[in-house]
């Protein structure tokens, strides 16, 4: 028994903030941001919340999977930016969708959140506890970005993505995941007080040692990919798509180079959305799925990395 993705969804805010607009309030330029990160624009939530985006993405995934909300056994929402501390985002999503039978909880592993939610869902399915699990990654990072810090505000964006995972007969792939709390100071956000009277009341911001995080990612992502391939007795040539967390184009390119794999197998959409943390992998997956690029039976690797520090990778077979 394995968990197969049977539906995907995504929801991003309407408001587009492009690089030249950012250059109006911090000392930067469109050219600098494109060259160093690949990002051209990002979405910024106005009316949209972490819950509303997660629920919309989840609704699409459930619809594509062709099940009814009552069939969902579990909802896991990966987020580092919930609208409130509790009830958790996943319970709010449950309420929105009418997934009355689901057990719901949030997971915060920053940018590795969706990957870890995926691996957790697989474990629940493998053990026979659940048959249908909705996982969502949803972030409203604009609320914790320091808009005066040009080193970080250029990178991030808001959005949500989702996948509906169903128990099916099939090969079960082993996951790879790792954390190193001793490196945590490279990327932090000490406190966050969610929503108050309709506005985000922010008590601290993202703070980052960009070079250190860059080096961490460039080293750890290829390592995670190699580990997960080894665990499953696979080679890089066996993989059709490498769906990496969308943080920086140069990180993705460096990973492809280190893995000696052509860059066209590493799809990217960070140009449009920036780094949406736990939402980046499912937003990209949804784009690939809905545009017909993913074919049934193809093998994918999902790879995440981020604050914690945490990183990991999973192999999956596309089943839609």
Q: Are 7 and 320 spatial neighbours (Cβ–Cβ below 8 Å)? A: yes
Site for ligand COA in 10-29 (CB under 6 A): 28
Q: Distance of alpha carbon 118 from its chain centroid, rounded? A: 10
**Active-site option among 91, 132, 245, 286:** 245
- Structure tokens of 320? 């839609």
Which one is catalytic: 111, 130, 153, 189?
A: 111
Spatial neighbors of 26 by CB under 8 A, at least 6 apart, are: 147, 148, 149, 150, 153, 154
Establish if 49 lies at the interface with ligand COA (CB under 6 A).
no
- Least CB distance to ligand COA at residue 161 (A): 16
Residue 205 annotated to the active site: no
275 belongs to the binding site for ligand COA (CB under 6 A): yes
Q: Rounded to the nearest whole angstrom, what is the least distance from the CB of residue 6 to ligand COA in the complex? A: 28
Is residue 245 part of the annotated active site? The answer reads yes
Beta strand segments in 176-309, E: 176-179, 187-188, 195-196, 199-200, 207-208, 241-244, 299-306
How many positions of this chain bind ligand COA (CB under 6 A)?
A: 19
Which positions from 112 through 171 interact with ligand COA, judged by CB under 6 A? 150-151, 154-155
**Residue 122: both structure tokens together:** 């697989």
- Which of 40, 37, 147, 49 shows the shortest CA–CA distance to 96? 49
**In this structure, what token pair is assigned to residue 38?**
């690949």
Continuous segment of H or E residues that includes residue 215: helix 210-231
From the list 2, 89, 248, 314, which residue makes contact with ligand COA (rule: CB under 6 A)?
248
Residue 111 falls in the annotated catalytic set:
yes
92-111 mask for ligand COA (x: CB under 6 A)?
A: -------------------x
Dist. CA 80–CA 279, nearest whole Å: 10
Sole window of 130-138, 173-181, 209-217, 226-234 interacting with ligand COA (rule: CB under 6 A): 209-217
Which tokens in the block code for residue 108? 């915060």
Residue 186: count other Cβ atoms within 10 Å of its Cβ: 18
**Between residues 104 and 281, which has the closer beta carbon with respect to ligand COA?**
281
- The verdict on 254 binding ligand COA (CB under 6 A) reads no
Question: Segment contacting ligand COA (CB under 6 A): 66-74, 203-211, 228-236, 292-300?
Answer: 203-211
Q: Rounded distance, CA 318 to CA 320, Å? A: 6
Q: Match 């030249």 to its residue by tokens.
A: 20
- Contact call for residue 41 and ligand COA (CB under 6 A): no
CB of 72 to ligand COA, least distance (A): 29
Task: Please report how close the Cβ of residue 297 comes to ligand COA at its closest, in angstroms.
Answer: 31
Q: Which of 15, 16, 32, 146 binds ligand COA (CB under 6 A)?
A: 32
Least distance from ligand COA to the Cβ atom of residue 247, Å: 3
Q: Which C-beta is closer to ligand COA: that of 9 or that of 306?
A: 306
Angle at 200 (CA atoms; ends 198, 202), nearest 5 degrees: 155
In the complex with ligand COA, the residue whose CB is nearer, 8 or 28, is 28
CA distances from 176 to 75, 298, 302, 311 (A): 22, 20, 10, 9
Catalytic residues: 111, 245, 275
Interface positions with ligand COA (CB under 6 A): 28, 32-33, 36-37, 111, 150-151, 154-155, 208, 210-211, 213-214, 247-248, 275, 306
């Amino acid at each position: 028994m394995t968990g197969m993705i049977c539906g995907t969804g995504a929801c991003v805010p309407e408001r587009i903030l492009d690089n030249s607009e950012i250059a109006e309030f911090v000392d930067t330029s469109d050219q600098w941001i494109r060259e160093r990160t690949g990002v051209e624009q990002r979405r910024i939530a106005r009316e949209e919340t972490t819950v509303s985006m997660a629920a919309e993405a989840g609704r699409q995934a459930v619809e594509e999977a062709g099940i009814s909300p009552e069939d969902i056994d579990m909802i896991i929402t990966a987020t580092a930016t919930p609208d409130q501390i509790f009830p958790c985002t996943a319970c709010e999503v449950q309420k929105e969708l009418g997934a009355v039978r689901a057990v719901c909880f949030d997971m915060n592993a920053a940018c590795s959140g969706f990957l870890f939610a995926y691996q957790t869902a697989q474990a629940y399915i493998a053990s026979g506890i659940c048959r249908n699990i909705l996982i969502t990654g949803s972030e409203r990072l604009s609320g914790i970005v320091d808009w005066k810090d040009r080193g970080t505000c250029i990178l991030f964006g808001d959005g949500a993505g989702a996948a509906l995972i169903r128990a099916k007969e099939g090969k079960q792939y082993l996951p790879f995941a790792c954390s190193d709390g001793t490196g945590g100071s490279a990327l932090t956000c000490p406190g966050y007080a969610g929503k108050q009277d309709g506005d985000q009341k922010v008590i601290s911001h993202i703070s980052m040692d960009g070079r250190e995080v860059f080096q961490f990612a460039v080293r750890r992502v290829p390592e995670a990919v190699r580990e997960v391939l080894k665990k499953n007795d696979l080679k890089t040539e066996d993989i059709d798509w490498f769906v990496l967390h969308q943080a920086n184009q140069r990180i993705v390119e460096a990973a492809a180079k280190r893995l000696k794999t052509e860059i066209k197998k590493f799809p990217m959409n960070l140009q449009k959305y920036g780094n949406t943390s736990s939402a980046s992998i499912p937003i990209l997956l949804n784009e690939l799925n809905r545009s017909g690029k993913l074919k049934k039976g193809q093998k994918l690797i999902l790879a995440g990395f981020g604050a914690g520090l945490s990183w990991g990778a999973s192999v999956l077979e596309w089943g839609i």
